[in-house]
A and B are shown apart, each in its own frame.
Chain A
Amino acid sequence: MSSTTAAIEAHGLGKRYGHRWALADCTLTIPAGHVAGLVGPNGAGKTTLISLATGMLAPTTGTIEVLGGLPASGPGQLARVGYVAQDTPTYAGLSVADHLRLGAHLNPRWDAGLARRRIEQLSLDPKQKAGRLSGGQRAQLALTLALAKRPELLILDEPIASLDPVARREFLQVLMHVTAEQELSVVMSSHLVADLERVADYLVVLVASRVRIDGEVDDLLATHHLLTGPRRAAATLPASQQVITDSHAGRQSTFLVRSSEPIIDPAWTAEEVSLEDLVLAYMGPSSGSPQEQRLEVHQ
Chain B
Amino acid sequence: MIWLTWRQFRPQAIAAVGALAAMAIVLAATRPGLSSGYAAAGLSACHAHCATAASIFLDRVGNFDKFLDFGGVLLIIVAPVLMGLFWGAPLIAREVAEGTHRIAWNQSVTRTRWTIVKLGLVGLAAISTAGLLSLMVTWWASPIDAASLAGGSAQAGTGGNGVHITFNGFGEARLDPVIFDARGVAPLGYAALAFALGVTVGVLLRRTLPAMALTLVAFVAIQVLMPNFVRPHLLPPAHFTAPLSTQHGQVGTNVGTGITDIQLTGSFAKPGAWVLSDTVITPSGAQPSDIIMTPAGPEFTVLPRACTPTPGSGFNPVPCRETLAAMHLRQAVTYQPASRFWPLQWIETGIYLLLTAGLGWVCVWQVRRRRTP
Contact = CB atoms under 8 A, between A and B. Distances in A.
Interface of A: 47-48, 51, 54-58, 72, 74-76, 78-79, 81-83, 85, 87, 89-94, 98, 101-103, 105-109, 142, 145-146, 149
A102 B1 CA distance: 8
B103 A91 contact: yes
A85 B8 contact: no
B100 A91 contact: yes
Report, nearest first, the 9 A-B pairs whose CB atoms are least far apart: A106-B107, A89-B99, A79-B108, A85-B102, A58-B370, A51-B373, A83-B106, A105-B3, A107-B108
Which size class do B's interface residues fall under?
Answer: 20 to 34
A48 B370 contact: no
Contacts of A58: 369-371
A20 to B, nearest CB: 14
Contact of A102 (B105, B107, B371): B107
A92 B108 contact: no
A56 B373 CA distance: 5
Contacts of B105: 55-56, 72
Contact of A57 (B7, B107, B371): B371
B102 A56 contact: yes
B372 interface: yes
Given A85-B106, A93-B11, 18 more contacts: A51-B373, A55-B370, A57-B372, A58-B371, A72-B111, A72-B370, A79-B108, A81-B106, A85-B99, A85-B102, A89-B98, A91-B103, A94-B7, A98-B7, A102-B7, A105-B4, A106-B1, A149-B107
Contacts of B11: 93
B217 interface: no
Q: Describe B's contact surface by its main secondary structure.
A: loop
Contact of B4 (A56, A85, A102): A102
B109 interface: yes
Interface string B96-138: 0011101101111111000000000000000000000000000
Contacts of A72: 105-106, 110-111, 370
A146 B110 CA distance: 16
B107 A89 contact: no
Given A57-B370, A57-B373, A89 B102 contact: yes
Contact of A89 (B2, B103, B370): B103
A83 B102 CA distance: 8
A106 B11 CA distance: 21
Contacts of B99: 85, 87, 89
Contact of B106 (A74, A76, A82, A108): A82
B346 to A, nearest CB: 38
B8 to A, nearest CB: 7
A61 B251 CA distance: 83
15 contacts: A55-B370, A56-B372, A82-B106, A83-B106, A89-B103, A91-B100, A101-B3, A101-B7, A105-B1, A105-B2, A105-B4, A106-B4, A108-B108, A145-B103, A149-B108
Nearest to B113: A75
Interface string B1-36: 111100110010000000000000000000000000
A101 B3 CA distance: 9
